[in-house]
Structure 1
Amino acid sequence: MAELNLRASAINAIKRIYDRVRTIQPGSFDEFQLEQELKSATTHFSRFTANHDQLVGSAKPSELDAHATLWEEVEDVYNSTCTILNRELRGVKRIPPAGTQPREFEVKLEPLAIPIFDGTMQNWLAFKDAFEMLVHKTDYPEAYKLGKLRQAVSASAVPLVGSVYSGGYAELWTALKERFDNRKRLAETHVSRLLNIKPTSEDTSQAILLIVDTVHESMRALRVMGLPVATWDAVVVPIVAAKLSIATQREWSMSCSPTDIPSLDELLKFLGQRAHSLSTAVVMWNKGADVSSRSQQRASGPSRAVKAHVAAADEGKCVYCQGAHRITKCARFLAMKCEQRIDAVKAAKLCFNCLKLGHSARQCTSGDCRHCSRKHNSLLCRASSSPNTASEDTVSSVPQESSTTTVPKKSEP
């Protein structure tokens, strides 16, 4: 087969040039010799690529792996040859002729990696910009550009690239742009991504930053497309705010003007600060708990560890029904009988005295029961709910600890 012989001839020519230049001594080739070697290597590689594509187009599926392996081997040799020659050319050109001023020192930068395109619309713009800058707008041979395009686009996600014969580089690149460079579909994709941000009930740094990053990416893509996103604040801000937790929504509302429309930049800046403060609060809380624990051990000897609940900071959220109120104002909680309330408090791991997270009744500084003056909340007092059985033993049977501590059995209800 003619293509097979021509490809083999091109491979041998590239290898001969590589063997000739890999042991090159500094100064043994002048600038013109180096440029000629580089031009010859590029010409032979273009010849190799053209015949290689013809053979791949007529190959059986079982033969494609062998062709791909050969391509990688030849490409490595060609790239190594070009690297050596370009390095020598730079060294030759840096030596100034006699009687001239030396050139300014040149910094060699590592080549940028071409991102892999997975066939999703939301990743097309980033891939297109990078590929056009690194490959499409360069002076590389068309065959080399075609090989890079096939490497950068996933054939399993975009079958157009992995077909037996997909045309030349210009034809394939045009087909990809016709399919993915669609302003209507791109706008719909990024607007849909913005609208479908998953709401979060977690008031954590990670949850907030995930929303911030998604908004940044979607708005940046729409801005690149030339859409007037700078005038969308009145629409986008409420959409994003609705995805936040109740506590973060409350903080955002308190920081806004009651009459002016906030901008999206203001919201994103607020969320960045909020995420930072939440991550810092967790560190400071843990640090304070360690210091308090060590101080208590020095003062009164070994004691049981008390679990710190960062969620206790959110006192405006009902831990029973998750509503925007405290548990003492919860209609469902107040409608239950005393025994049911006690069970609910146990399940939520609340303090039996103040009905908050983060400590036990023995450590609580809130006031005592209004009915019997013992260390439990008035809503949990059996004496007020069952007058006929309001003996001292019954009243004292309300648990005194949350789930983070253990008390003697005689104090259990």
Structure 2
Amino acid sequence: MDDLYVFHLQQELRSVETHFERFVENHNHLVGGATPTEMGSHDALWETVEELYKEVCSKLNRLISSSKVESNVTDGARDCPISSLDGHLVDLKLDPLAIPSFDGDMCKWLAFKDAFETLVHHSAYPEAFKLGKLRQAVNVASVPLIGGIYSGGYQEVWNALKERYDNKKQLAELHVSRFLNLKAATLESSQSLLSIVDTVHESLRALRVMDIPIHHWDAIAVPIVVTKLPAVTKRDWCMTCSPTDIPQLEDLLKFLEKRAHSLSSEPSTALMVCRQQRPVRAHVATTDAALCAHCSLPHRIAKCPTVLALNLEQRFEAIRRLQLCYKCLRAGHSLRQCSSGNCRNCGRKHNTILCRAKVNNASTLGSSITSPVSNNVPAEVQTTSTA
């Protein structure tokens, strides 16, 4: 192919770009005066025309490039191989890179700005095309300055967006605050450790992009991160540190990455920790239950010599004061909720050591015991213990 053909292709490409600029300009005017119900059809038209524009430009650019390559081959000027398959040039069509959306969240601004400037702002696309891509990538509902009937040309809108969100002071405060307020990890799990690592990397990377000197923050950053670690991980990290040298933040993050990968192969780590703790709690509970609630000696209250030495009314008073069940002599539930057995002497709903019938039998043998029924005895117990 000769140079005339390449020139013709370049002219066609410029013509397509001009027509697309005119379309974008007219489309913006239509959108500015459209009602909410008409926006769907305008958006559909934009997507269709934009897809055709990109497809035509892609084909023309490939033809121009292949024509130049063939011309260089003919002239012997090519000194590097071109990918081929069975002697034919391979025509690869790559999917366009997606521009991250921006909804006004300051945390997302730096990532959006870098991607948009690389893919669109610094490209050779027409200004109208850049403005259309900017309006597509930014949520108009969250960032109203992008919309409106007429918001100016692309450069004006882009400058206004940067003036509002590209605020170094606010961005620095935001990412420093995010680093200082790391969420503490309570479990020895891979997910919790990687969450800390990712947050630290994202915050410090953002500060580094803003040319803030974070390279010498180890003496401050490491203790902050260590306070957010679970107990076992914190202990293992401290065991690896020098007693005199200041640890490096990068070494701590690598240690956490390595430990997270080791924990990921042990999914039941948290469950194992809980199971290891259960016997300790059970032992404490058993020990407490074996102590008498009245004298704190290791026997049941039903066998307590001090309680058995009291008369029946005094026993009722002691049980009431300790807030124990009148049936099983344990705490934590009422007489109505108790599932323990009844009195072994009379079969009614009270403990055997509180049985009035037993006391009455003792009275017939000559014992002098005061009647147990008093205002301090619950009505339910009085009723069930009355012969």
Q: Which of 75-84 and 180-189 deviates more? A: 75-84
Residues 90 and 191 of structure 1: CA distance in aligned 2, closer, same or farther (over 3 Å): same
Residue among 268, 273, 297 paired with 1:311 = 273
Amino acid at match of 1:102: R
Shift of 1:46: 0.7
The equivalent of 1:278 in structure 2 is 263
Residues 180 and 144 of structure 1: CA distance in aligned 2, closer, same or farther (over 3 Å): same
CA separation in 2, counterparts of 1:39 and 1:111? 21
Say whether the 8 Å CA contact 2:290–2:298 is kept in structure 1.
no
Residue among 30, 39, 59 paired with 1:64 = 39
Say whether the 8 Å CA contact 1:204–1:278 is kept in structure 2.
yes
Amino acid at match of 2:60: L
Amino acid at match of 2:289: K
The equivalent of 2:288 in structure 1 is 336
The equivalent of 2:71 in structure 1 is 96
Q: What is the aligned-residue RMSD (CA, Å)?
A: 3.2
- Equivalences for residues 14-25 of structure 1 within 5 A: none
- 2:138 corresponds to 1:150: no
Task: Give the gaps of 5 or more residues in structure 1.
Answer: 1-25, 286-307, 321-325, 341-382, 390-413
Residues 339 and 101 of structure 1: CA distance in aligned 2, closer, same or farther (over 3 Å): farther
Shift of 1:104: 2.7
- Equivalences for residues 11-410 of structure 1 within 5 A: 30-96=5-71, 98-102=74-78, 104-106=80-82, 110-282=95-267, 309-311=271-273, 336-338=288-290, 385=299
Say whether the 8 Å CA contact 2:291–2:298 is kept in structure 1.
no
Q: Extract structure 1 runs of 4+ deviating beyond 6 A.
A: none
CA separation in 1, counterparts of 2:156 and 2:202? 30
CA separation in 2, counterparts of 1:106 and 1:168? 41
Say whether the 8 Å CA contact 2:291–2:300 is kept in structure 1.
no
Task: Give the gaps of 5 or more residues in structure 2.
Answer: 84-91, 304-387
Amino acid at match of 1:212: V
Say whether the 8 Å CA contact 1:96–1:103 is kept in structure 2.
no
- Classify the secondary structure of the residue corresponding to 2:119: helix
Say whether the 8 Å CA contact 2:222–2:249 is kept in structure 1.
yes
CA separation in 1, counterparts of 2:301 and 2:21? 98
CA separation in 2, counterparts of 1:40 and 1:250? 69
CA separation in 2, counterparts of 1:260 and 1:327? 40
Say whether the 8 Å CA contact 2:291–2:299 is kept in structure 1.
no
CA separation in 1, counterparts of 2:140 and 2:287? 62
Amino acid at match of 2:76: T
Amino acid at match of 1:203: E
- Classify the secondary structure of the residue corresponding to 2:28: helix
- Classify the secondary structure of the residue corresponding to 1:53: helix
Count of residues in correspondence between the two structures:
289
Say whether the 8 Å CA contact 2:29–2:149 is kept in structure 1.
no
CA separation in 2, counterparts of 1:385 and 1:183? 71
If you compute each CA radius of gyration, which structure gives the higher value, 1 or 2? Answer: 2
CA separation in 1, counterparts of 2:244 and 2:274? 32
- Classify the secondary structure of the residue corresponding to 1:170: helix
Shift of 1:136: 0.6
Shift of 1:234: 1.6
**Percent identity of paired positions between Structure 1 and Structure 2:** 51
The equivalent of 1:294 in structure 2 is none
Amino acid at match of 1:214: T
- Classify the secondary structure of the residue corresponding to 1:88: helix
Shift of 1:41: 0.5
Say whether the 8 Å CA contact 1:96–1:102 is kept in structure 2.
no
CA separation in 2, counterparts of 1:335 and 1:240? 39
CA separation in 2, counterparts of 1:187 and 1:225? 8
Amino acid at match of 1:55: L
- Classify the secondary structure of the residue corresponding to 1:231: coil
CA separation in 2, counterparts of 1:319 and 1:228? 48
- Classify the secondary structure of the residue corresponding to 1:310: helix
CA separation in 2, counterparts of 1:158 and 1:387? 72
The two structures have a TM-score, normalised by structure 1, of: 0.63
CA separation in 1, counterparts of 2:285 and 2:264? 32
- Classify the secondary structure of the residue corresponding to 1:336: helix
